[in-house]
Amino acid sequence: MRKALFFSAMLFLLSCEFLHEKNITTSTSNVFETDQIKTFGGSLNDSFQSIVKANDGGYVVLGYSQSADFDIIDKSDNSFDFWICRFDGNHNLQWSKTYGGSLDDRGADIVATNDGGFALFGYNGSNDGDATQNAGIRDFWIIKIDGTGTISWQKSFGFSGSDYGVSLISTSNNGFVLTGVLNVTASGGQGNSKTTARHAGGDFWAIKLASDGKMEWTRYFGGSFTDAPFGVVETDSNDFIIAGSSDSDDVDISGNRGTYDFWVVRIDSNGTLVWEKSFGGTQIDEARGITMTSDGNFLIIGDSRSADVDVSVNNGIADLWMVKIDDSGNVLWDKSIGGTNFDAGRSVSNDLQDGFIISGSSRSDFSQHQNKGQNDAWVLGIDSNAAVKWQELIGGSEIDVFYDAIQFNENYIVAVGDSRSADGDIQNNKGFSDGLIVTLKKK
């Protein structure tokens, strides 16, 4: 086991480069440090994208695999397939499975279901193998499996263009909401339940399913340029808030700040637009994740290259930027975290102390943490006011990224992503990229 990297809470008090807030309070009982670093994969491109806790005390990781060798034992070709790995409570791999056909199929998000199974979501380019239907270049693809990985049902949704699934949630009525990008031009305006009004290019696309996969409604939102969602949550009133990025300034988008913004849409339980808001500055700002806070508000994270309008501070080329909004979409505060290079958040989840766990990547040097190559995988814990409690950067000389992280239990956090390195913190690499999984233990 490699020596754990850690960043003392006291050093954060001295680092105005890292966090623009100067008054940082931490609790050493809630500080985590690296415990184990593992990679899984084959000789080609393999990645972990999402992680969820299982009901037996373990966890399940979803991503995609192009490989058909080494750790990938149930594939016979080199097309991309959904790839799922189940781990027990001691972080040991129990089983690994792939799902797909002969073309490009990639998993993006996973949720646990009440029956002990899981729903896997992403996109399929195949119409053979496990994927029985495809309408175009890419379709939304959801697979429902039981606790052993056996497929219960699977559904594809899409049109003649490239429609790709990004994020998935289980709803309070045991159904699902799927969100991703709809190619409205290729669909000819199809994709809305009640209107055929056309936008252009890619729009936010939301689909509501019943527990058995039957479609209940479908709606898209956007403008005439590029709009891509990356996260969705259900509110206490059973509405849904979708967060992503947009460089449109027309049709559904009324307040573009400049180039790409965080774009946030609230829809009701029937998919009707309630409000939409843009957040950012005059440069590129892209939201990557959203979660509900313990006080009933919402935290949205991503990256920002701006230093004006809604963005109070920028420390480098791009920072991890977060904005907290209330139930009506009003900004409560914003925070920037980063160094002098490019730093980005990819996911946000709630910890067990009313704070948050953020994963992403960093190219910056942070005090005792020197960048090891290109992107280092980055995971950090913040409190409810965005004060940094701890952070870890894992990497080698190549590109290493975390895409998701959760608090597994009181003592452990698990972060997942992919790695191209075979040096530094990451000693093993079997191909172009491997799935990366890091456990962090409470100090």
Q: How many CB atoms lie within 10 A of CB 173?
A: 13
Tally of domains in the chain: 1
- pLDDT by position in tens, the chain (length 443): 333 333 333 233 233 333 333 333 344 568 999 999 999 999 999 999 999 999 999 999 999 999 999 999 999 999 999 999 999 999 999 999 999 999 999 999 999 999 999 999 999 999 999 999 999 999 999 999 999 999 999 999 999 999 999 999 999 999 999 999 999 988 888 888 766 666 777 899 999 999 999 999 999 999 989 999 999 999 999 999 999 999 999 999 999 998 999 999 999 999 999 999 999 999 999 999 999 999 999 999 999 999 999 999 999 999 999 999 999 999 999 999 999 999 999 999 999 999 999 999 999 987 767 889 899 999 999 999 999 999 999 999 999 999 999 999 999 999 999 999 999 999 999 999 999 999 999 99
Distance between CA 367 and CA 12 in Å, rounded?
9
Q: Report the run of H or E that residue 11 belongs to, with start and end.
A: helix 9-14
Res 442: pLDDT: 95
**Residue 147 located in a structural domain:** no
The pair phi, psi for residue 95, each rounded to 5°, is -160, 160
Kindly state whether residue 119 falls inside one of the protein's structural domains. no
Residue 176 within a domain: no
CATH number, position 350:
2.120.10
φ, ψ for residue 344, nearest 5 deg: -145, 145
Q: Exposed, middle or buried: residue 3 (CB in 10 Å: 0-12, 13-18, 19+)?
A: exposed
Q: Which of 239, 160, 172, 174 is nearest to 206 (CA)?
A: 239
Residue 287, domain member (yes or no): yes
∠ CA 442-29-369, nearest 5°, is 60
Reading the block at residue 77, the tokens are: 């070709």
CA-nearest of 422, 432, 337 to 387 is 337
User: What does residue 14 show for φ and ψ, rounded to 5 degrees?
Assistant: -95, -5
What residues contact 20, with CB distance under 8 A and at least 6 apart? Answer: 312, 313, 315, 335, 336, 337
Which pLDDT value is given to residue 366? Answer: 79
Tokens of 402: 């975390």
Q: Report the distance separating Cα 219 and Cα 364, nearest Å.
A: 40
State residue 369's pLDDT score.
79
Closest CA to 421 of 433, 439, 409, 407: 433
Residue where the block lists tokens 């058909």: 68
Is there a domain that residue 218 lies in? Answer: no
Can you tell me the distance from the alpha carbon of 371 to that of 88, in angstroms, rounded to the nearest whole number? Answer: 32
Cα separations (Å) of 332 from 107, 261, 279, 377?
Answer: 34, 17, 12, 29
Helix then strand count (H, E) for the chain reads: 2, 28
Please name the helix (run of DSSP H) or strand (run of DSSP E) that holds residue 276, with its range, or none.
strand 273-279
Which domain covers residue 243, as residue numbers?
9-90+191-202+225-442
Whether 171 is covered by a domain: the verdict is: no
Q: Are 319 and 343 in contact (CB under 8 A)?
A: yes
Query: Is residue 230, in this structure, part of any structural domain at all?
Result: yes
* CB crowding 223-249: b at 16 or more within 10 Å, else e: bbbbbbbbbbbbbeeebbbbbbbbbbb
> Nearest 5°: phi and psi at 391?
-155, 150
**Ranges assigned E (strand) in 351-411:** 356-362, 376-382, 388-394, 400-407
pLDDT given at position 7? 31
**Total length of the chain:** 443
- Could you give the CA distance from residue 72 to residue 313 in angstroms, rounded to a whole number? 44
Q: Is residue 140 part of a domain?
A: no
